[in-house]
Structure 1
Amino acid sequence: MTVVNVKDLQEGDVLKNDLFRGGTLVLKSGTSLTKAVISKLRQWDIPSVDIRSAQDEHHVSDENEQETNVVNNSPDSVPSVSEIKNDFFNNLLKIGQEYRYGFALNDAVDYQWLEGLFIKFMSTGKIYKLLEKLKDWDYNTYQHSFDVFILGTLFAKKLKIDDIEQFAIGCLLHDVGKLEIPKSILDKSSKLSQQEYETVKNHTIYGYKILKQQDFPEYVANLAKSHHERVEGSGYPEGLKNAEIKEEIKALAIVDVYSALMMARPYRHAYGSTVAETILLKECKMVEDYYFYTFFRMLDIFPLNAIVELTTGIHAKVIDTNDKVPFYPVLEDRYKSNRIEMPLDRSVKIKKIIRF
Structure 2
Amino acid sequence: MPINEDDRRLFLKNTLGLDHGYRLGGKLHQPSYYSWLEQLFHSLMQDDTTRRLFQQLADWDRYTYRHSFDVFLLGSLLAHQLAWSNIREVACGLLLHDIGKTAIPRSVLTKQETPTLAEWKLLQTHARHGYDILTTQGYSDTIASMVYSHHERSDGSGYPYGMSASSLKDPIRLLAVVDVYSALSLDRPYLSAVPPHQAVSMIRDEVGPLDPQYVRAFCELLGIFPAGATVQLTNDASAIILDMEEALPTLPLVRDNQTNETFYLPIDQTIQIHQWIDPF
Is this a same-fold pair by TM over 0.5?
yes
Separation of aligned partners in 1, 2:122 and 2:202: 24
Tell which structure's C-alpha radius of gyration is larger.
1
Larger relative contact order, structure 1 or 2 (CA cutoff 8 Å, min sep 6) = 2
Distance 1:95 1:239 in 2: 32
Counterpart AA for 2:91: A
- The answer to whether 1:348 aligns with 2:246 is no
1:179 aligns with 2:86: no
Q: 1:244 aligns with which of 156, 160, 167?
A: 167
Residue 231 of structure 1 is matched in structure 2 by 154
Q: 1:95 to 1:103 in 2, by over 3 A?
A: closer
Which residue matches 1:276? Answer: 199
Q: Give the unaligned 5+ runs of structure 2.
A: none
Amino acid at match of 2:167: E
Question: Equivalent residue of 1:112, what SS?
Answer: helix
Alpha-carbon distance in structure 2 between the residues aligned to 1:183 and 1:281: 32
Distance in 2 (alpha carbons) for counterparts of 1:160 and 1:89: 25
Contact 2:28 2:34 in 1 (8 A): yes
Structure 2: how far apart are the matches of 1:241 and 1:106?
38
Q: What is the aligned partner in structure 2 of residue 258 from structure 1? A: 181
**Residue 125 (1) aligns with residue 29 (2):** no
Measure the CA separation in 2 of the matches of 1:290 and 1:236: 21
Say whether 1:285 aligns with 2:208.
yes
Deviation at 1:113, TM superposition (A): 2.0
- Displacement of 1:186 in angstroms is 0.8
CA–CA distance in structure 2, aligned partners of residues 268 and 294 of structure 1 = 27
In structure 2, the partner of 1:95 is 18
Q: Normalized against structure 1, the TM-score is what?
A: 0.74
Q: Which amino acid aligns with 2:69?
A: F
1:207 aligned to 105, 109, 130, which one? 130
Conserved? CA contact 1:254–1:284, under 8 Å: no
Q: How far 1:288 sits from its partner (Å)? A: 4.3
Q: Deviations over 1:124-164 (max 9, x none)?
A: 21111111111111101101111111110111112233421
* Aligned pairs, number: 278
- TM-score in terms of structure 2 length: 0.93
2:67 to 137, 144, 148: 144
Cα separation, 1, equivalents of 2:116 and 2:14: 32
Q: 2 CA distance for matches of 1:293 and 1:309?
A: 13
**Unmatched 5+ residue regions in structure 1?**
1-66, 68-79
Deviations 1:216-269 (A, max 9, x none): 112111111011110100001121111111111100111111111110012121
CA distance in 2, matches of 1:307, 1:179: 42
Paired residues of 1:230 and 1:284 also in contact (CA < 8 A): no
Q: Does the CA contact (< 8 Å) of 2:21 and 2:196 recur in 1?
A: no
What fraction of aligned residue pairs are identical, expressed as a percent? 37
